[in-house]
Amino acid sequence: MPIRAIIFDCDGTLVDSETLSNRALVEYVAEFGLVISLEESMARFVGCKLADCVADLESQLGRALPEHFIPELRRRMTRIFEAELKPIPGAHELLSRLEHPFAIASSGPRAKIELSLERTGLRAFFPDARIFSAYEIGCWKPDPTIFLRAASSLSVEPAECLVVEDSAPGIRGGVAAGMPTAALGQGEDRARELGAVASLASLSEVPDIIARL
């Protein structure tokens, strides 16, 4: 079945935010006595719901973090994004030339998605109706609901919709939705393990994947 639409993740797929977000997390949790490396944080938390990440950290720390931890962490992430966030290489070029309709399905809050798109010059590509946040839907990847909701808004069947994702939860969610899913930056073996139809080294390969499916 030919591809008629594309659903993109945001963090790590269109905007280069994962290292920045995890840097803020590592630096902040260290203030409470828990020292983890950036590499460990990336391996454990990329693509996961923030509340679940905090619960994992609390388990490791052996006590609850304060109620203000998540709001303060979000403020710190926002400051870093405003100063340093950049688009993933090739994002502008890809979105500018795509002939298929596309949307974003992100596990982040809408405010974070919109800030990320604005700071990287990508906001004009995504009207409000094409931005889907797990916080508004109430389901987080790998639950496929957000992908199915986005596909419905694009008036395509799941099998006609290509998902482009960088994280394991996102790739699993796209596969669970019955959508051909391309794994960005995962490597061929890992992509196959997660059920993706292809491994992408860069966003420039997306048109070739669309043509092949």
For the chain, domains (ranges, CATH) are 5-16+86-212 (3.40.50.1000), 18-84 (1.10.150.240)
- Is residue 1 within 8 Å of 29, Cβ to Cβ? no
The whole-number pLDDT of residue 203 equals: 98
How far apart CA 184 and CA 182 sit, in angstroms, is 6
Interhelix angle 145-153/168-176, nearest 10 degrees: 60
- Residues known to be catalytic: 9
How far apart CA 25 and CA 8 sit, in angstroms, is 24
Residues 182-190: contacts with CB within 8 Å, 24+ apart? 182/206, 182/209, 184/12, 184/13, 185/12
For 172, residues 6+ apart whose C-beta sits below 8 A from its C-beta are 141, 142, 194, 195
In order of 32, 75, 76, 83, the CA distances from 79 in angstroms are 20, 6, 5, 6
The whole-number pLDDT of residue 206 equals: 98
In order of 17, 32, 35, 144, the CA distances from 77 in angstroms are 9, 17, 18, 27
The whole-number pLDDT of residue 155 equals: 97
pTM: predicted TM-score of the whole model, two decimal places = 0.95
How far apart CA 191 and CA 41 sit, in angstroms, is 21
Instruction: Name which of 150, 145, 180, 185 is nearest 168 in CA terms.
Output: 185
The whole-number pLDDT of residue 1 equals: 81
If you search the block for the tokens 């609901």, which residue do you land on? 145
The whole-number pLDDT of residue 71 equals: 97
pLDDT of the chain along its 213 residues, tens only?
A: 899 999 999 999 999 999 999 999 999 999 999 999 999 999 999 999 999 999 999 999 999 999 999 999 999 999 999 999 999 999 999 999 999 999 999 999 999 999 999 999 999 999 999 999 999 999 999 999 999 999 999 999 999 999 999 999 999 999 999 999 999 999 999 999 999 999 999 999 999 999 999
